[in-house]
Chain A
Amino acid sequence: MIWVETVVNGMLLGGLYALVGLGLGYAFGVMKIVNVAQGDFIVAAAFLGVFLVPWTPVHPLLVIVPVAIVSFVFGIILQRTMINRVLGQDQIPQILLTFGMAIVLRNAMVEIYGANSQSIDVGNLRFMGFDVLGLRLGVLPVVILGIAVALFAALHLWMRHSRMGRIIRATADDHQVVQLSGVNYRRVYGIAMGIALALSAVAGVLLAMRGSFTPYSGADRLLIAFEVVVIGGLGSFWGMFAGGLILGVTQLVALKLDPSSGLMWGHLMFLVILFLSPNGIAGLVRR
């Protein structure tokens, strides 16, 4: 029974991991951009969450709304003032630019907040639990999984049915051709990066509610996001979700068997899946 509980908890964590990967995967899907600073943005969003929680009305959980809005605006500015300027045939300038941002951001956070471990206080919610089918589950992890699933579904539906979603999909298909229909792809890229950072920011805040973080957590967050995207098959929504679940379950089961291993077994699981199916889970399904 303890194993069932571990697996279920792994899936609860995995849903959040999927959300961590969603921002990275979305930016890649639309713009073929890999934002190497994503992990450190996630941590910065968590710090913003810590800062805003005392001013958040009703419930601390709602802090995700202002953090997401700030990150959305920040993403647009970032894309339009910096990343758009280095885009071209060659991927390297964009990757190195964001790598530089990651370094600056990480060390700025260490400078401002110190290297201590922090977390976002959500009051009693953190300790509340309930029983289902003989399993003891935490309320917070279940709520967080719910938010993750809701965001996945919302993004999926919005991309499918809204006018802006159509424009973004068209831009993702061919950003040159959409200009013939009067679309400014640089503007669309700005919005896409805004969405990507807003999603990541929510993930960062939720991670900081479930566990703790330091200014150095960005590297681990980026690696998780990256693994979710690659396991999922580079740009497949539900593949990413499955990738998150696999990583979450692997990590919790491994920590039970080998408590000092950290993320090692999750990383190994990523390599195993890459070995078995180069195109991730989506590739496996399509075949």
Chain B
Amino acid sequence: MTDLRPKLVALAAALAAAALIAAPHVAGEGNLRYVVEIFCVFAFAQSWNFLAGYVGLMSFGQQLFIGLGAYFVFTISNTLGVNPFLMVPLAFVFSGAFAALISPLVFRLRDAYFAISIWVIAEIVRLFIAQRDIFGSVSGLPLIATRGMDRGLVSMWTFYLAALLAFLAVFGLYYLARSRFGLALAAVRDNEDTAASIGINVWWTRFAGFVIGCGFTGAAGAVYYMSVFQVQPGGAFDPNWMVIMLFIVIIGGVGTVEGPILGTAIYFLLRAFFSGTGNLYLMLLGAAAIAVMMVSSRGIWGVFHDRTGIDLFGVRRASGMDTEHKG
């Protein structure tokens, strides 16, 4: 029996692309801005999901790359007067390059120690930027270049960039996971020794995954802060970004393409309901993460998949987390 899913996914990708291209011409500017935020947060979460669930590297410092991407675009665009929209791919390159630079150091640590070491680096960068006048110190930077541009055009291009990120976060991840490289990543994640024994270069595979994932977070961070025209070190390097990413991925199901889509929807619904309650709402996110870990570490989509056997994309492969739950 041939699996029809790859063709259906390609069809879905084409339909999604068409819908996203049409959207700014249909929706109002206010809605568009809200959608941009949702897409960016989804892209953050999916980049963390890619790192934790596909590369096997859990980071507690992804806010580092959100801030780096944003500050890169703001600083270059403000000082050189370059169109910030053209800088977003470079934000990917810059954040990826920064990840490449720190990886020889942080790869020396494993698991939680790896996770926290990136948080330490995020703190260093935040404290560094908060003291430097060229980065606007604690009060941050405004985005100057877009002031002279047509407002409708700015919001349309911001939307297209965010839409591209969300599109890549679903379909890009799907094709990446099915590729040769994706298989190598899964092998390294599941068992380093076995992966090495079939000729996979463990270090370089993990390194490439780390650079791609962090670069993507950086590009998404740039788009997010471009959409609000202002970046501050306290906000861009806020560890609460990490809380949101973790919540979305854990609730939805780590290591799946579908899980974070579900998680993002739940997150924004919760936020709409509890937006006035401040800390209570953050406590709720934390409690939900605890509950998921106590019940099933595979998240809502993982449990749903186990019960029904439904797998929309057909890329899910066993991760380390599954082994105890099999049977």
Contact = CB atoms under 8 A, between A and B. Distances in A.
Interface size class of A (residues with CB under 8 A): 35 or more
Query: Which 7 A/B pairs are nearest by Cβ-Cβ distance?
Result: A103-B286, A34-B112, A100-B289, A100-B290, A104-B286, A264-B127, A107-B279
Given A86-B293, A100-B286, A111-B279, A34 B113 contact: yes
B297 interface: yes
B290 A104 contact: yes
10 contacts: A36-B112, A90-B297, A95-B111, A100-B286, A103-B285, A111-B280, A230-B109, A260-B131, A267-B123, A271-B120
The listed residue with most B CB atoms (<10 A of its CB), out of A34, A36, A99, A229, is A99
B108 A274 contact: yes
A283 to B, nearest CB: 11
Nearest to A234: B113
B321 interface: yes
Given A100-B286, A103-B286, A104-B286, 18 more contacts: A86-B293, A92-B111, A92-B320, A93-B293, A93-B321, A96-B246, A96-B293, A100-B288, A100-B293, A103-B282, A107-B282, A110-B279, A229-B113, A234-B113, A263-B123, A268-B124, A271-B121, A274-B108
Q: Interface SS of chain A: helix, strand, loop or mixed?
A: helix
B190 to A, nearest CB: 11
B116 interface: yes
Interface of A: 34, 36, 82, 85-86, 88-93, 95-97, 99-104, 107-108, 110-111, 219, 222-223, 226-227, 229-230, 234, 260-264, 267-268, 270-271, 274-275, 278
Interface residues of B, number: 42
B323 interface: yes
Contacts, number: 124
The listed residue with most A CB atoms (<10 A of its CB), out of B243, B289, B321, is B289
B294 interface: yes
B316 to A, nearest CB: 16
B286 A91 contact: no
Interface in B271-290: 279-280, 282-283, 285-290
B324 A100 contact: no
Contact of A92 (B52, B113, B127, B279): B52
